Structures are given as structure tokens and as C-alpha cells.
Amino acid sequence: MAFILSYFARLQAGKMILWYYLIWYCVTVYFHFDPNPKIWINALGISVVIGIALMLSVSNGQSPFANPWQTFRLFWMPFAVSSFSSLIKGQGYTVIFSPHLREVLIALAACLLFTLFVAALKWRKRGLILSSR
């Protein structure tokens, strides 16, 4: 647990944005989940094809699996994009925004709560560093 809290306490802006994407995706899946296996199998297939292409594009002679989190993200993102687009098809979305204000507000609130959580961890870590001087 300490490792996870330490990770979030050191989180940089770019990674925060990736977490916002994940939160937004999870809220959308919650409201629009479709158990149709075709959606998830197609998303998995696209994830494999595009994930391999992304791995090849970022490899620089090292093992493509040297950074497990990067590898996970390179396969997860195409899966999320594909399944997201399938779930919102015909739902009246504008880009990533639901036509239902409640869904948008819940996603925004979840992102805000995450931001406050990370800020509290950073503040706590900073306080611990300053107090040890």
C-alpha cells in the first residue's frame, strides 16, 4: 500500500491526465456497459494489433517489455478507445461528453476527487520532507 501512495505522491501532470482518462472511461463503462462479447473481443483484437505496432514504434533496441507499465498502457489504450467508441455509439455523445449532465458531473467529480487525493498526498510528502530538515 505504501508503494501505491508513494506512486501517487510523485505523480506528474502527464500521468495525472492519463488517470483522468481512465476515470472518465470507467464512468462511461459504468453507465453504458454492454455485455455483448463482440464489443470486448473486437476491442481486445484491436488492442493486440495496435499495441504491437505501438511497442514497435517506441522500442529503441531494448527489450520491448523493459517497462511493464508502459507496455500495459500501450495495449490498454487501444482497448479502451475501441470499447469506449462502441459503448457510446448512438448515445448522443459529443466527443467524450455524454448528453446526460449527470454522467458528465459524476465523471468530473471523480476526477476532482482524484486530484484532491493526489494533492493531499503531495502535501503530506512535502510536509514530511520539510519537517525532516
Q: pLDDT tens, 19-69?
A: 999 999 999 999 999 999 999 999 999 999 999 999 989 887 777 677 888
Pick 133 or 48 by higher pLDDT.
48
Residues of the chain above pLDDT 70, percent = 95
Which pLDDT does position 63 carry in this prediction? 75
- Contact between 31 and 110 under an 8 Å Cβ cutoff? The reply is no
Cα–Cα distance, 53 to 123 (Å, whole number):
39
Span of 41-45, 63-67, 71-75, 109-113 with lowest mean pLDDT: 63-67
